[in-house]
Structure formats: structure tokens, C-alpha cells
Structure 1
Amino acid sequence: MNAALFPDVIVNGETIPAASIAAEAQNHSAPKDKPGIAWRKAAQALAIRALLLQEARARGLEPDPEEMAPGRVETEDEALIRALLDQALTIAPVTDADVDAEWARDPERYRSAPLWDVSHILCACDPRDAGQTEMAGTRAKAILARLDGSAKGFAAAARESDCGSKASGGHLGQLGPGDTVPEFEAALRALTEGGMTPAPVLSRHGWHIIRLNASAPGQVLPFGTVRPKIAQALEKAAWTRASRDFVETLAKAAQIAGASLDPI
């Protein structure tokens, strides 16, 4: 490991070793060809954690771990940081006027989920098997070529599908967000009503030829329905801003080497 490129981080004299940063880096996303971004994110996260723990101990706080979910209890460090933020942050309560203004800014953002009426043809394979995937892909392309963009023969072609829906012409019924695997849904969202995928789409189940028979966009929800959601979002945003400002205050008074707290 190049110490110049991947140094230890030192926060107010406390050393965070490069090995700890390397382990943390696995929890941060970065382009495959730019591993340094994940490293910088990890170094920043651990530097902030160190700052908060140092401040909590300086204030004489004691950890009191809470159960976060069934079988999931806070670590002592997590409990200390929570106690510190509870003590240090003052969040102004969200008012009715705040919620009204946020709603009025763009009511179109608050919609029910869309519905899609979908048919598909599946050429099943295990994507981890290159040979199997190639053969299934060739088969899917041949079916798609016969269809030539026309929906007229879709139900007949669906008899060759490896999905149980072949008994109903490939019809899957009405689907909403999250009802299918991500690759399928991403392709579905790109289709216009009556459209068909121009090329087979690979998912964990195999190759799909997808047709969007009809769609119903989500409806704008009544204010009374979304009001609690808006209030919760405003509270979360206020807490995020306050915690960021608090960390910036700690950082200005700290001596930090090997990491930057600037946005990455």
C-alpha cells in the first residue's frame, strides 16, 4: 500500500490506521476505475466519527445502547454519537405553514404509484453461465426478429416463453414499482404505451422481451394524505442540516490530517 496515496488519518492526535480505512471503504461506492474515491469517502466518514466520539467523551457522556430493531442493538460508539447529537442539536419544530409551503411548491411530486399492464416472453438462463446466457440470448433475438416490432404475433410467440405466463399469451397483468426485478422495471419505464423493448433485456431470470400494453400514471394525492410524509421529510432535512453544521463547527476547531471533510 502506497502510504502517500493511502495515508493514516489523524484527528486531534488520534490515529485511524489505513487498515481501518480500507475496511470501511468497502461500504462506499465508487467507479471501478477510481478506488481512491471510495477511500476518500471512508477516510472522511471515519474522521467525522472520531470527531463526534471525541466531543461526546469531552462532554462526559455515557453510552446507553438502545435496541434499533429486533436483534439489532446499538454499539457503544453509536449510542455515544446519538447521545451527543440529541444534546447538541436544536431543531426548530416543523409548522403547518412550513408543510403548506412545501406542498404548494410542487403538488405534482406527491403521486400514487403508476400501474403498467405488461406482457413478456422469457428465454430463461443463469446469467452466471456464459454459454447458457449466450444461447438463451440468441433464442430471444430470433423471437424478437420474427415479431419485427409488431404486437400482433406477441401472444403466439409467447408460447415459446419459459414463464408460466405463456398460457395467457405472456400476460403478466398489472404491475407497479417494485413488483419486478430492477432490470425489468428499468426497461419497462423506458417504454411508451403499446411499445416493445427493441432488444432482449437480461435479468437474473434470463432474457425478456417486454411489451407495455397499457399504463396508468399515478394520481396526485390529496394534501391530507401526504401531509405526514411532508412533515417527516422536512424534519429529516432540518436534522441533516443541523448535524452537518455541527460537524463543520467541530472540524474548524480540530486538527485533521489525511482526510478532507469537503463534499466528495
Structure 2
Amino acid sequence: MLSAQLAKSGRPVPAEMQAQLKDEVIAREVFMQEAQKRGLDASDDFKAQIELARQTILIRELFADYQKKNPVTDAEIKAEYDKFAAANGGKEYKARHILVEKEDEAKAIIASLKKGGKFDDIAKKQSKDPGSGANGGDLDWASANSYVPEFSQAMVKLNKGQTTDVPVKSQFGWHIIRVDDVREAQLPKMEEVKPQIAQQLQQQKLASFRRTCGSRPRWSELPKR
């Protein structure tokens, strides 16, 4: 029995360990007999633990049976990938920004840039964004929907190498934005993310099954005849 359970759990016992396993089975039987002789199997605590273990094992078997009979299909994986690609496809922007608190500060910075001021240097000295300021305002590659609407709407109007002529206001303050480059979104191929998608869909199916079972009326709630 122990050997079969180990094999089922994906840990088959190699031939060289069979003797060791046999000793373990014998030891378990000896301990079981001693415990029964002392009447430990008749205690309320033992019975409660047995019932809890029975429930746990049955529930685990129920979920395993559901997953076996409801596997994730390749069609479901492709549909999920297509949904992901549609939401994350399109263009990506390599942008920089300088964030300040007041509009006048932003206008002064734009004037300085037009006179030849270096965007990176000004960002390091004046930007209030702790994440990008130290890196010259660099925001790395990101899609437009990664930013607040006011920022993204202004950014997508810029061509490669272009900077906003007027400050852009958002909930964070006033931005001066520059687009360094534009490219098509670099999405992973379906085969690269297939295992993750399959696992996610399997978890979703199991969660749905758990909710369905949990919403069924309990026996005590069924109408009496």
C-alpha cells in the first residue's frame, strides 16, 4: 500500500530501496498494534483526526478527478493567448519625462530644452519622479496604457525624438515628455508561455468548480417532504 501511494504521488521506489521500504512497513505495523493495544484508536481525538483526514483525502480526490476529466485544451490556450495579445499588442514607447510640481517650472524647462539644454541632465536635477529622475527620466519600454490617460494621450502624439511643446498635467504634477523610440510590442510566442497559460486556466476551472460546489444547497437546507 505504501509503495503504491508513493508511486501515485510521483515518487516510485527504486529496486535498491525495496528492502528499506519493507522494514518501514513492518515498523508501521508494530507501532499500529502497540497503539491499538493501548486503546488509542478509541479516543475521541483520534476519531476526529481520522474524520478530518478522510474529508481532506476525499476533497483532494474530488478535485483531482475534476481536473482529469476537464483538461485544458489547446483551443482554450490559444483563445487566452489571443486575448492577451490583443490587450498587449500594438506599439511600445521608449519615453522619458521630467516631473515637476508647478506649470511655470515645466514651461521654464521646455524653454531651456529649446535653447539646447540636455533632457537627461535636467531630469536628474529637477524631476520629482524618484523612479526615473536618477536615470535621466528614462521610463524604458512600455505601452501607452501603462500610463495615466493624460500622459499617454500626449505621448502617442509625439514622433521619435520629439518633446512636448507644452507641459502635460496629471494627478502627479506637470510632465515634460520625450519619445526616444517607438516599436511594435515584443510579445512572447505562444509556445513560450503555453505552460503558464495552461496552469492559469486550470486554476480558473478548478476555482469555478469550487464555487459551483460551494453554492449548492446543503442537505439541511433542502426542502423537507
What is the TM-score with the length of structure 2 in the denominator? 0.47
Larger Rg: 2
Question: Which structure carries more helix by proportion?
Answer: 2
Larger RCO (CA under 8 A, 6+ residues apart): 1
